[in-house]
């Protein structure tokens, strides 16, 4: 077998074992534990990642950005709130249609073109590229935020 591939496989299985044994820190990620067959990890501290780089960060750690799809998952995350740990805003996998070309003119079904002198903007400074943060709190929530914001942490899942 090709040595490079063998080494990659060895590293990959090592990382997998690490994730499966619930090691408390992978790439500065803290394991919150398991619910419905998946583990949630949150990033310790805020490293200035926007939504895109947050997704890459999870992927590099062998995970993906978190989804919260059931009552049990929401209850689990709520139960993990801690005033000196999991207590901030964290990127999740949710986003709106954040590319301008995902708009269509309803009447023609065509995509609006970029026209010089016509700048896209939004009401109340809310960019149309919005992504969703989980707010870890005793009263948790989901917050829409511009995807290029770098002020939150990251919530990943296995």
- The distance of closest approach from Cβ of residue 29 to ligand NAG in the complex, given in angstroms and rounded to an integer, is 19
Rounded Cα distance, 156 and 111, in Å: 33
Enter the tokens of residue 119: 């700048």
Could you say whether residue 148 binds ligand NAG (CB under 6 A)? yes
Rounded Cα distance, 106 and 15, in Å: 48
Number of residues that bind ligand NAG (CB under 6 A): 6
- Please identify, among the stretches 8-16, 36-44, 48-56, 64-72, the one whose residues bind ligand NAG according to the rule CB under 6 A: 48-56
Query: Among 31, 14, 13, 10, which residue's Cα sits nearest to residue 22?
Result: 31
Could you say whether residue 127 binds ligand NAG (CB under 6 A)? no
- The residue within the footprint of ligand NAG, chosen from 31, 53, 64, 87 (CB under 6 A), is 53
- The residue within the footprint of ligand NAG, chosen from 93, 147, 154, 156 (CB under 6 A), is 147
Residue nearest to ligand NAG according to CB distances in the complex = 148
Phi, psi of 38 (to 5 degrees): -130, 155
* Contact status, residue 62 vs residue 16, Cβ threshold 8 Å: yes
């Amino acid at each position: 077998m090709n040595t490079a591939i063998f080494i990659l496989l060895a590293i990959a299985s090592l990382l997998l074992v690490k994730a499966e044994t619930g090691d408390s820190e992978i790439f500065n990620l803290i394991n919150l534990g398991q619910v419905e067959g998946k583990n949630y990890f949150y990033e310790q501290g805020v490293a200035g990642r926007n939504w895109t780089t947050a997704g890459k960060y999870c992927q590099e750690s062998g995970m993906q950005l978190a989804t919260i799809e059931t009552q049990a998952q929401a209850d689990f995350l709520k139960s993990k709130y801690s005033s000196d740990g999991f207590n901030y805003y964290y990127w999740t996998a949710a986003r709106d249609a954040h590319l301008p070309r995902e708009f269509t003119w309803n009447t023609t079904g065509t995509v609006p073109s970029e026209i010089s002198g016509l700048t896209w903007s939004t009401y109340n400074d809310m960019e149309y590229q919005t992504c969703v943060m989980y707010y870890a709190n005793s009263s948790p929530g989901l917050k829409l935020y511009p995807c290029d914001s770098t002020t939150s942490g990251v919530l990943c899942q296995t």
